[in-house]
Amino acid sequence: MIDTELGHYKIPNLMARARYYWTNVNLDAIFIPFFRPDHIQFIGSNWALLGNHVPVNLLITPLQQTALGRDFVSLLNTSFPGWDDSLEKALSTERLNALGPTIPEDDLEHWEFGARFSYNAGPVAGSASYYNGYDKLPTLYFSRDAVHLFEALANNAPVAEIMDRVLHLDPDQLMVSRYKRFQQLGADFEANLGPSVFRAEGAYAFDQPTYTDELEVVEKPMLTWTAGADYQLPFDIDFNLQYMQIYTPNWTPDLIMPRSLSFVIAYAHWFFLENKLEGYAQALYDASKWSIEGWRHGHIVNDDFQFSSKMSYEFVPDLRIGLGAIVFGGPRTELFGFIHDHSFGFLDIKYNF
């Protein structure tokens, strides 16, 4: 996302909130009677996550990682010239928008609930929370015929069988997206150590949707946690360094997502010229392949990264204009290197009224 202020993405919604105070303890509960999806588009505009259409290369590139996949793509190029254009039309904006996402109806059956218990004792604070509701990003489900095609590819089926499955695919029933309900436990801890603050937080989701190597959706528990520290430097510069990990406890080898994804994140935010000049820079480095054995042999560099930065200036009261960029880099086989051609720059204009 371009805008890092999460409050700008909040959608007004009807809800009931209850709060109980003790001396150093708070108990909050929120009940939302009707689910409301977010307004973030996956596809259909220049600002959607996938742009105006699904990049066919995102589907072809993984296929070409195997010898069978390369032979299959070569056969398609020879037997069906322009097949990639046909696939792109099959995954066009109109078709995807017609397929969903499926949104829960406005009735009390699709309620959402959250509760949070927090404690504050001087320099130390912490909380525990519970959430039962819908994922704010829909899950994409491929049709049974599409899954059977992926299974045939994974099992090295004869080319004739693969071609038969390709020809029997119905583009209008290729995929559908749905919002999934899930439950999550969370906790966080904070210790104020003077010029620095140590923070840690984590969330355990019981049934998060994920994909197998045949692009079938399965639900697995997932643990996400992060720990780091904030430090205030001179000249109104705030610096944050943290380590984040996404871990799948009940992991199986057929999942596309690895058992563990790890990232090191460095973030700096600053104000200059009497707060008229504001900027930030963030670097996210993929540390998933770090290991003690790798450190011993000096193999700690993965070269997979994301970097984002923005500088803005308040030219007149309430009007701020900024320039920024988000850059992805690394080997094509890695997480950020795979989407390195999606790097972009942007112009940011904000007016408060």
pLDDT of residue 220: 92
**146 occurs within a structural domain:** yes
Q: What pLDDT sits at residue 1?
A: 44
Which residues, other chains included, contact 188 with Cβ-Cβ below 8 Å and sequence gap of 6+? Answer: 126, 127, 199, 200, 201, 202
Residue with tokens 């049934």: 207
Residue 162 is assigned to a structural domain of this protein? yes
Q: How far is 283 from 293, CA to CA, in rounded Å?
A: 25
Which pLDDT does position 97 carry in this prediction? 47
* Residue 217, pLDDT score: 84
Top-confidence range, 125-134, 303-312, 324-333: 125-134
Residue 254 lies in a domain: no
Residue 285: exposed, middle, or buried by beta-carbon count in 10 A (0-12, 13-18, 19+)? buried
d(CA 188, CA 227): 10
Kindly report the average pLDDT of the chain as a whole number.
Answer: 78
Which residue range is the domain that position 76 belongs to? 38-108+139-178
Task: State whether residue 147 is helix, strand or coil.
Answer: helix
Specify if 65 maps to a domain.
yes
For 334: left if phi > 0, alpha if psi spans -120 to 50, otherwise beta; the answer is beta
User: Which pLDDT score is estimated for 193?
Assistant: 85
Residue 87, pLDDT score? 57
How much is the pLDDT for 99? Answer: 47
Q: Coil, strand, or helix at residue 161?
A: helix
pLDDT at 148 over 60: yes
Alpha carbon dihedral 116, 121, 126, 131, in 10-degree steps, equals 0
Any domain includes 147: yes
In a domain, 250, yes or no: no
pLDDT above 90 covers what percent of the chain?
31
Confidence of residue 34 (pLDDT cuts 50, 70, 90): confident
122 located within any domain? no
- Total domains present in the chain: 1
pLDDT band for 53, please (50, 70, 90 cuts).
low
Confidence of residue 234 (pLDDT cuts 50, 70, 90): confident
d(CA 353, CA 281): 27
Q: Maximum distance among all alpha carbons in the chain?
A: 75
Share of the chain above pLDDT 70, in %: 71
**Model pLDDT, residue 118:** 95
Find the range with the poorest average confidence among 31-45, 96-110, 265-279, 332-346. 96-110
Checking if the pLDDT of 276 tops 50, the result is yes
Taking the CA of residue 303 as centre, how many other CA atoms within 13 Å lie in the half-sphere pointing to its CB?
8
* pLDDT value at 38 more than 80: no
* pLDDT tens sequence across 181-216: 899 999 999 999 878 899 999 999 998 888 887 677
68, part of any domain: yes
